[in-house]
Structure 1
């Protein structure tokens, strides 16, 4: 996972997350543990129903109940994490089967402070095993502001 720094930002996403599977209930505890450092208690996560296997309506994370809200109309390839004080982080969801170098590039770009790219632009090339990202731009301006270990 990669996040933008804590500051006023523009754009569509506040960072990126690359889960290992389509099992939301299994993937969320590690993500929420890392995000709790920034957000505190996280009682709600919303997601697009088409991108995950069937998920329960709630899960327990560190003894706290987290409501999972799946929507057909939710923007594709994003997950919203909502804190107890209603602060919200929108994360780019990099599909689990994405080729590693392509996923890395998408995550680096999503975490860039000045990034204003739409989700589709950030994910360009992530649906195939061959990256379609312009090699000249692949490492140019996308530098992560913050990196966390434990959640990919």
Structure 2
């Protein structure tokens, strides 16, 4: 048996998946964010090529990216994208939930970064909210709001599970436990 090795090109990276993006539509309304990006991992070197490629048509060639190091374990200085280089910088002062993209000829875009571990429903809510033209909500505010919404959904699920497991009669509609004496029995219905 003969083995042939193809050493052309860099084979160390897995094939890139399409970038998951939600961008604001063209509008005269300037907002805090220009959209959202939901990466598959926290590996910038693996994730940035698909993002830059997806944005090239609507926004032009991305030349620089800025991140907060609090959300990315490794920050490369440069990332190769289709035979060119995207420079990556980091700033502790930058909102940790935001990515800043710069294009040589076109300008700057601020994008919410939806954490890779976010569930699909929460990611959809965040991506839709970040793409509203003229929105004054920052990346940090959107993430904080989603945390509150997520807790509310979990609490509602727990209340419903308790309601179902106890026959629905031991919890008030507001999620508070009720004494069984407070619940009218079928025999005391006045008949």
Q: Name the structure with the higher helix share.
A: 2
Q: 1:125: how far off? A: 5.5
Q: Which runs of 5+ in 2 are unaligned?
A: 1-20, 154-191
Q: 1:24: how far off? A: 0.7
In 2 relative to 1, CA 95–133 (structure 1 residues): closer, same or farther, beyond 3 Å? farther
Work out which of the two has the higher radius of gyration on C-alpha atoms and give 1 or 2: 2
**Which among 108, 112, 120 is matched to residue 132 of structure 2?**
112
Q: 1:71: how far off? A: 1.5
**Which among 88, 110, 134 is matched to residue 90 of structure 1?**
110
Is contact 1:125-1:132 (8 Å) kept? no
**Distance in 2 separating the partners of 1:64 and 1:9:** 33
**Which among 57, 72, 96 is matched to residue 52 of structure 1?**
72
Q: 1:133: how far off? A: 6.6
Deviations 1:119-150 (A, max 9, x none): 2331235559x82478xxxxxxxxxxxxxxxx
Deviations 1:40-78 (A, max 9, x none): 221100011111121210011011111000111212200
Q: Name the structure with the higher strand share.
A: 1
In 2 relative to 1, CA 38–133 (structure 1 residues): closer, same or farther, beyond 3 Å? farther
Query: Any residues of structure 2 matched to 1:1-152 within 5 Å, and which?
Result: 1-85=21-105, 87-124=107-144, 126=146, 131-132=150-151
Question: SS at 1:26's partner residue?
Answer: helix
User: For this pair of structures, how many residues does the alignment match?
Assistant: 133
TM-score by length of structure 1 reads 0.79
Q: 1:15: how far off? A: 0.3
**Distance in 1 separating the partners of 2:124 and 2:23:** 13
Q: Which runs of 5+ in 1 are unaligned?
A: 135-152
Is contact 2:24-2:34 (8 Å) kept? yes
Is contact 1:56-1:68 (8 Å) kept? yes
Question: SS at 1:102's partner residue?
Answer: helix
